[in-house]
Structure 1
Amino acid sequence: MTAKHGYGICLTGCIALIMMVTGCAHTPSATAPDTVMSKAGTIKQLSTFVSAVNSAGLAETLQGAGPFTVFAPVNKAFEALGEEKLAELMNAENSTVLSGVLSRHVIPETIVADDIQGVLRKPTANGQEVTLSVFKDRVMVDNADIIKTDIKCSNGVIHLIDTVILPAAEEQEEEEKTN
């Protein structure tokens, strides 16, 4: 092997080493905050809820600063409404009604399960109140059982519920008259 050939191998090796070191350098990317909306999007049981939030135009709000407590109905809760009612709610022409229904599932503060002692009345994002209660190991919001609590997010907390919380019939009629 000649000196010239040895230098060439050495130079090639050095270049390869530099490329490996700099090419593999990990540059941390800006990670998206773990918001209520981004976290909900990772939970399979909430695919209908996420779709409804997007249809109602509320996704940006739930990606905001918060704080939010979101009582997110699981897919089975939406299915229990029946195909006709669900299709009616998800219809683009009813986005105001859907927004009102979904806003009833959001409290503009962070409430974890341990905060619920006895009975609490809390105003929701649409101004209506919901009742949070604990009864014999059951944590509830209005008539819905909270089936999974305290999914912590950067801007609040998500609780999974088994029922879509609909406004009382008279509240819904009044809302429909104003639309």
Structure 2
Amino acid sequence: MKSPLTKLFLGLCMAFSMFSFAQSNVPRTKTIDSEHHKILLEAVKVTEMEEILEKSGPFTIFAPSDAAFERFSIEKIKELLNSQDKSALKSLLTYHIVAGHLTASRILRAMCRGNGKASFTTIQGKKLLAHMDGYDIVLTDPIGNTARITSADLNLKNGVVHEIDSVILPTQM
């Protein structure tokens, strides 16, 4: 017999999946909001990943807002953006990207199949763990840092973007 908490979680998964499916039928052709993602867009430009992201895919991008980067450390970001060696910045960016089109409902379905947790491999090759905290999908990096999805399912021509409230790290930086 399943516990009441498990039943509640499964019910929430089903309800959110149906809501997300209904929302996904609305066609959207937006781009990442340049007013809230200036640092991210600059990092993509500096690492010369624009063409890869535009011509390959589909990708799921967990996009830290400027406020998330500023909490990470604006000094560290400036150092990464201005460094001659772009490998650390590219590593950071590729840790925020997963191959495939993972809508919020697909992430939730994976968590339902995984008893409340799901693991996704970034294009960098490291894992992100997703779980629920209340109504929020939370991502956890290998170090234990977490990021909440604050805005989900911004569909692009070659993928989907989920805005997150923190920068997640592949390793200690």
Q: TM-score, normalised by structure 2?
A: 0.72
- Give per-residue Cα distances to partners, 1:39-97, cap 9 Å, x unaligned: 12x44111111001111111111101311000000000111122321111112413111
CA distance in 2: counterparts of 1:93 and 1:148, whole angstroms: 33
1:91 paired with 2:94, answer no
CA distance in 1: counterparts of 2:75 and 2:83, whole angstroms: 14
Q: Which residue of 1 aligns with 2:148?
A: 145
Q: TM-score, normalised by structure 1?
A: 0.69
Q: Give the gaps of 5 or more residues in structure 1.
A: 1-33, 173-179
Q: Which residue of 2 aligns with 1:7?
A: none
CA distance in 1: counterparts of 2:99 and 2:75, whole angstroms: 31
Q: Give the gaps of 5 or more residues in structure 2.
A: 1-28, 141-145
Contact 2:34 2:41 in 1 (8 A): no
Q: How many residues align?
A: 133
Contact 1:144 1:163 in 2 (8 A): yes
Q: Which has the higher helix share?
A: 1
Kindly provide the amino acid, as one letter, of the partner of residue 96 in structure 2: H
Would you identify which runs of 4 or more consecutive aligned residues in structure 1 move more than 4 Å? none
CA distance in 1: counterparts of 2:149 and 2:99, whole angstroms: 18
**TM-aligned CA distance change 1:168 to 1:96, over 3 Å:** closer
Structural RMSD (CA): 1.6
Q: Which residue of 1 aligns with 2:94?
A: 103
Contact 1:57 1:99 in 2 (8 A): no
Larger radius of gyration: 1
